[in-house]
Amino acid sequence: MADFWDTHSLADYDDQTYEVEMTFEPSARRGVVRIEPELMADISQVARERKVSAQTLINVWLRQYVDRLTSQMSEAH
């Protein structure tokens, strides 16, 4: 879908759009984590290659890492 919008304009489809009401309640707590500039550049590059945001990529990686650690801790007990 992103490839499509890279080459098309929403203005061309104005007659096919309509207004909707939307409520957004973020489920995640926000926090600030400082990341070294060189590491952030590497993460951003990987994110671009995967066509996701750096934030999404970091969240996926952290979830995978924490799940793996939790699983290992459960197996040890």
pLDDT in tens, 21-59: 988 777 778 889 999 999 999 999 999 999 999 999 999
What residue type is 12 in one-letter code?
A: D
Average pLDDT over residues 2-27: 85
**Contacts of residue 35, Cβ cutoff 8 Å, sequence gap at least 6:** 43
Which tokens in the block code for residue 36? Answer: 């070294």
Residue 37, pLDDT score = 96
CB 4 within 8 A of CB 12: no
Residue 47, pLDDT score = 96
pTM given for the model: 0.60
| pLDDT exceeds cutoff 90 at 3 | no
CA 54, CA 41: separation in Å to the nearest integer?
A: 10
